[in-house]
């Protein structure tokens, strides 16, 4: 892939894993990764950005990409964990 497409792909992988680990995101099929404004993953990104004090864009912007690569506590950020 051209570099930026590959980076984008890596970013999508990162954010998906992060949301699965800490925001109870469950990807059921490829369609879940479509980035429409009200798609499941966009909603989850907004939820995560709100919790971590980021600008709530629903997009994988650089601040968001930077923060999800910081060391963190392994415990989820939202309930739904028992």
Partner 1 sequence: TFAGEPKWTKKVLTYRILNYTPDLHPADVNAAIKKAFNVWSSVTPLKFVKEENDLADIMISFAVRGHNDFIPFDGPGGAVAHAYAPGTGFGGDAHFDEDETWTISTEGTNLFYVALHEFGHSLGLFHSKDPEALMYPIYRKFDPSVFPLHQDDINGIQHLYGHTPITYSDQRESSEVKEPDEPKEPALADTCSPDLTFDAVTTFRGEIMFFKDKYFWRKHPSLREVNVVLISSFWPRLPPGVDAAYEVPEKDETVLFKGNEFWVVRGDTILPGYPQKIYALGFPKDVTKIDAAFYNRNKGKIYFFIVDKFWSYNKRSQSMDRKPRQIREAFPGINGKIDAVFQHNDFFYFFHGRKQFEFDPGKKRVTRLLKTNFWFPC
Binding site for partner 1 (CB under 8 A): 21-22, 50-53, 67, 69-75, 77, 79, 82
Q: Which two tokens stand for residue 55?
A: 């600008």
Closest approach, Cβ 80 to partner 1, in A, equals: 9
Q: Which two tokens stand for residue 36?
A: 């429409």
- Of the two residues 29 and 71, which places its CB atom closer to partner 1 in the complex? 71
CA gap 47, 76 in Å, rounded: 13
Closest approach, Cβ 14 to partner 1, in A, equals: 10
- Contact between 41 and 17 under an 8 Å Cβ cutoff? The reply is no
- Of the two residues 39 and 43, which places its CB atom closer to partner 1 in the complex? 43
């Amino acid at each position: 892939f051209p570099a930026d497409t590959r980076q984008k792909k890596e970013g999508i992988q990162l954010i998906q894993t992060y949301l699965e680990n800490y925001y109870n995101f469950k990807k059921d099929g490829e369609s879940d990764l479509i980035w429409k404004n009200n798609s499941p993953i966009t909603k989850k990104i907004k939820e995560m950005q709100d919790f971590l004090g980021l600008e709530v864009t629903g997009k994988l912007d650089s601040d968001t990409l930077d923060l999800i690569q910081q060391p963190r506590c392994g415990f989820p950020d939202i309930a739904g964990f028992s």
